[in-house]
Amino acid sequence: MNIEFAWPWLFAALPLPLLALLLPRVPRVAPATLRFPFYAALRDNLQTHSSQPSRLRLALAITAWLLLVLAAARPQLIGESVHLPISGRSLMLAVDISGSMQNEDMQIRGRQLNRLTAVKAVASDFIEQRKGDRLGLILFGDEAYLQTPLTFDRATVRTLLEEAQVGLAGKQTAIGDAIGLAIKHLRKEPASNRMLILLTDGTNTAGNVDPLKAADLAAREGVRIYTIGIGSGEMQVQTPFGLRRMATGDLDEASLRVIAEKTDGRYFRARDTAQLAQIYDLLDRIEPLSEDQQSWRPVNELYFWPLGTALLLSVLIALATAYRGRITTALSTEAPHA
């Protein structure tokens, strides 16, 4: 580790206080005084008491100025290099949060859960394993919304996914808009590493963009789309006549399959969380990691230490000046009794 200065050119300000010596002196007007005996003795006494504090204040003032300039130059403690493996993948995750995602036809450890909760449980592990990938999150319902742009901050992506709620973006499903928004944010990334994982449990019922036309645009932009159909297709419902199975949702598998084929991706069907986890494992094998690394060095700012010390010295100078002023006033007003 070593110390560096972000703005070293500010050290040129060090001699600025010397300019005060070049300024013309303003003549002092002697105030009205009271003449009394033994004035010379009092003056010598005052000078004897004030010479040492004056030198001390001057030293404190010079030190405070040096510390202020040092703080302005922004000293920084530069740590050792940290290497971060990078896969080179730019991966956008688009999650359906329309009304049908509240259907409870998914299971985790024997518990019946709604589809969005199941997606969160499995996708959180998938996000955690994406070390080195740039991740982004899109939530869509009636419209598509970008929750996080592409970032290495997996914790933020995972947190925002956990906070998503069914119906937050509307009850319908805008698959085409979600694809279009993903293309917009992926097109600036390297062409060979653009990837979209689209999770939905329905068919396109909203939005301004047709999903198949959006897939054509994705193919031209080099964005591979992996579509995942969520939901078992049926759920158990308690009725007065016992448990009955009923169909849930109207998943448009044909369109999802075509979207994947147009973009050189693949379509997967996830009827339970185990299948969803297997799909994520398969995606790791389809999209191999590279061996690239990104290096960075942690930087800790240190400017507040000299700045705080300079402020403390300024307070001491002010207190010393006030104390000297009181002594001077007392000595100058004292007179011997005749």
DSSP assignment of 249-261 = ----HHHHHHHHH
CA 176, 180, 181, 183: dihedral to nearest 10 degrees? 140
45 pLDDT higher than 60: no
Same domain, 143 and 161: yes
Q: Using 50, 70 and 90 to split pLDDT, how confident is the model at 241?
A: very low
pLDDT at 325: 63
294 pLDDT higher than 70: no
Helix (H) / strand (E) containing 188: none
pLDDT at 243: 43
3-class secondary-structure state, position 155: helix
Q: For residue 220, is it within any domain?
A: yes
Crossing angle, helix 304-333 and helix 39-72, to 10 degrees? 170
Q: What tens digit of pLDDT does each residue of 144-175 get?
A: 999 999 998 899 999 999 999 888 888 888 99
pLDDT at 253: 86
170 near 66, Cβ under 8 Å? Answer: no
Same domain, 100 and 246: yes
Give one DSSP letter per residue of 235-247, joined into a string. EEEEETTEEEEEE
DSSP symbol at 47: H
CA distances from 136 to 151, 170, 181, 182, 322 (A): 6, 21, 11, 9, 60
Q: How many distinct structural domains can be found in the chain?
A: 2
> Domain holding 149: CATH number?
3.40.50.410
**In the predicted model, what is the mean pLDDT of the chain?**
78
Q: For residue 269, is it within any domain?
A: yes
Q: What tens digit of pLDDT does each residue of 85-128 get?
A: 555 678 899 999 988 888 877 766 667 778 888 888 888 888 88
215 near 94, Cβ under 8 Å? Answer: no
Same domain, 234 and 143: yes
pLDDT at 263: 92
Q: Using 50, 70 and 90 to split pLDDT, how confident is the model at 245?
A: very low
DSSP symbol at 30: P
Same domain, 157 and 277: yes
Q: For residue 23, is it within any domain?
A: no
Instruction: In whole angstroms, give the CA distance from residue 82 to residue 295.
Output: 6
**Burial class, 15, CB count within 10 angstroms (exposed 0-12 / middle 13-18 / buried 19+):** exposed
Same domain, 138 and 174: yes
Q: Using 50, 70 and 90 to split pLDDT, how confident is the model at 244?
A: very low
Instruction: In whole angstroms, give the CA distance from residue 13 to residue 268.
Output: 65
* Domain boundary pick from 277, 292, 307: 292
Contact residues for 143 (Cβ-Cβ < 8 A; gap 6+): 169, 170, 174, 177, 206, 207
Q: Residue 99 is part of which domain span? A: 86-292
76 near 299, Cβ under 8 Å? Answer: yes
Q: For residue 225, is it within any domain?
A: yes
DSSP symbol at 202: S
Beta strands in the chain (DSSP E): 2-5, 75-78, 82-86, 90-96, 106-108, 111-113, 134-140, 144-151, 194-200, 223-230, 234-239, 242-247, 267-270, 292-296, 299-301
Chain centroid to CA 77: 21
Handedness of CA 275, 279, 285, 289 (dihedral sign): negative
Same domain, 227 and 181: yes
pLDDT at 128: 83
Q: For residue 28, is it within any domain?
A: no
236 pLDDT higher than 60: no
pLDDT at 218: 93
Chain centroid to CA 3: 25
232 near 105, Cβ under 8 Å? Answer: yes
Q: What tens digit of pLDDT does each residue of 68-85 get?
A: 999 999 999 887 776 665
